[in-house]
Amino acid sequence: MHLTRTLLFSLALPFLASCASSTSKPLSFGQNYAVLNLDLINGVVAPLANTTEGKKWINSTATWIDAVHAQSPPPLSIYTRIYYSSVATPELSPSIPFYQVAAAFGNLTEESPVSEIYPAFAPSSSGDDSRDVVLRKSRYYAGDGNSLEEILRTRWVEKVILSGLSTSGVLLSTAYRLFDLDYFVYVISDNTIQPSSPTTKKTILEDILPRLPVTVISLEEALEALENSGPAKW
- Which residues bind to ligand NAG, rule: CB under 6 A? 46-47, 50, 59, 62-63, 66, 87-88, 106-107
C-beta of 107: minimal distance to ligand NAG in Å? 4
C-beta of 164: minimal distance to ligand NAG in Å? 16
Of the two residues 46 and 208, which places its CB atom closer to ligand NAG in the complex?
A: 46
Q: How far apart are CA 187 and CA 116, in angstroms?
A: 23
C-beta of 75: minimal distance to ligand NAG in Å? 18
Q: How far apart are CA 18 and CA 12, in angstroms?
A: 10
Of the two residues 60 and 167, which places its CB atom closer to ligand NAG in the complex?
A: 60
C-beta of 23: minimal distance to ligand NAG in Å? 32
C-beta of 203: minimal distance to ligand NAG in Å? 27
Three-class DSSP category at 140: coil
Of the two residues 70 and 181, which places its CB atom closer to ligand NAG in the complex?
A: 70
212's CB contacts (< 8 A; 6+ apart) are 175, 176, 179, 185
What b/e readout covers 104-142, taking b as 16+ CB neighbours within 10 angstroms? Answer: ebeebbeebebbbbbeebebbeeeeeebbbebbbbbbbb
Q: Identify residue 194 by its one-letter amino acid code.
A: Q
C-beta of 132: minimal distance to ligand NAG in Å? 17
Per-position DSSP letters for 87-115, written without gaps between them: TT-TT--TTSTTHHHHGGG-S--TT-GGG
Indicate left, alpha or beta for 71 from its phi (over 0: left) and psi (-120 to 50: alpha).
beta
Indicate left, alpha or beta for 184 from its phi (over 0: left) and psi (-120 to 50: alpha).
beta
Of the two residues 55 and 153, which places its CB atom closer to ligand NAG in the complex?
A: 55
DSSP H or E segment with residue 121: none
